[in-house]
Amino acid sequence: RSRARRFERGESNVTFDDVAGLENAKRDLCEIAEYLKNPERFQRLGAKVPKGILLMGPPGTGKTLLAKALAGESDVPFYSISGSEFIEMFVGVGASRVRDMFADAKKEAPSIIFIDEIDSVGRARGTGLGGGHDEREQTLNQILSEMDGFSPQETVVVLAATNRPDVLDAALLRPGRFDRKITLDLPDRKARKAILHIHAREVPLAADVDMERLAALTVGFSGADLENLINEAALLAGRQDSEAVDMAAMLSARDKVVLGGEREMVISD
C-alpha cells in the first residue's frame, strides 16, 4: 500500500478562513479549488490546469495548513505523505509507494496529493554518492513519470512543500510538473495579529490582552511559533488556575518561545 494518509471527503474541515495572511497563496489556491470542484467546466474550453504546485517557505509558515485548506475547500479526497516516508530500506519500495499513491488518487479523481518535504526525495540527481541508482533517485523518477502520465480526464492536483527550493532537481520544475510556485513568507505584523486571533479563538482572554502589541513584539515568529505562544500562555494561566489568559502570561509565553527557538539553534549549530 502507498502508506499515504488518506483524508476522506469532508474530513479536512480546515478552510481558507483558518489561514491568516498569505493572500496571494490563498488566491492562487482558490482558483485550483474552483477547478477541482468542476473540472469539466474548464476542460471543455481546452484549458490546461496546473498539475503541480510547489509551496515554498520557511518552517511553520503554513504550507501544510494551506494544503489541508485546499482539500477542505474543494471537498475532494486528499492524500498526504512526507517525502521522507518514501525512502525505505528496501530498494524499490519508494517507487512502488509512489505508484500506488498515484493509482489510488487517479481512481478517485478529482483528488489532491500532498507531498510534504519534497526535497528529501527531490534533490538534484547525480550529485550524491549513490551513483544515479539509489533508492531516492528511483523514487524521484517515479514521481516525474507519474506526473507526466496523467490523462486530461484524470484531475489529480499535486501539491508539494519545501523549505529548500534551492536543492530541488530542475526536472521537477519543468512545465507540466511543478510549474506553479507559491512562495510563503514569514508573517508581517498585520498577519501575525490575525494569526494570534485565529489561535486565540477558543481561549478566554483577560481584558488587558493587547494583540496589536503582541504582534509588534513577535518579529520573526512563524505561524507555528505564534500558535505555540498562545498555547504556552494558556498552559501557564492554567497552572496559575486563572479564569482567563492575561497579557503577562502572553509575554512570558513569548519569551519562552524565543528562548526555545534559541536553544534549538544552539544545539543544531
Torsion sign across C-alpha atoms 227, 228, 233, 238: positive
Q: φ, ψ for residue 161 (rounded to 5)?
A: -125, 145
Task: Determine if 159 is a binding residue for ligand ATP (CB under 6 A).
Answer: no
Among 39, 60, 94, 110, binds ligand ATP (CB under 6 A): 60
How many residues bind to ligand ATP according to rule CB under 6 A? 20
Residues 222-241 that bind ligand ATP (CB under 6 A): 223-224, 227
Residue nearest to ligand ATP (CB): 223
> Strand 156-162's sheet: what is its strand order?
5-7, 78-82, 111-116, 156-162, 52-56, 180-183
Q: Cα separation of 241 and 196, whole Å?
A: 22
Question: 104 vs 225, which CB is nearer to ligand ATP?
Answer: 225
Question: Min. distance of Cβ 191 from ligand ATP in angstroms?
Answer: 7
Q: Please identify which residue in the block is written with the cell numbers 507559491.
A: 182
Task: Determine if 63 is a binding residue for ligand ATP (CB under 6 A).
Answer: yes
C-alpha cell at 254: 513569548
Question: 161 vs 172, which CB is nearer to ligand ATP?
Answer: 161
Q: Cα separation of 156 and 4, whole Å?
A: 15
Question: 39 vs 60, which CB is nearer to ligand ATP?
Answer: 60
Q: Which chain residues interact with ligand ATP by CB under 6 A?
A: 19-22, 57, 59-65, 116, 161, 163, 195, 198, 223-224, 227
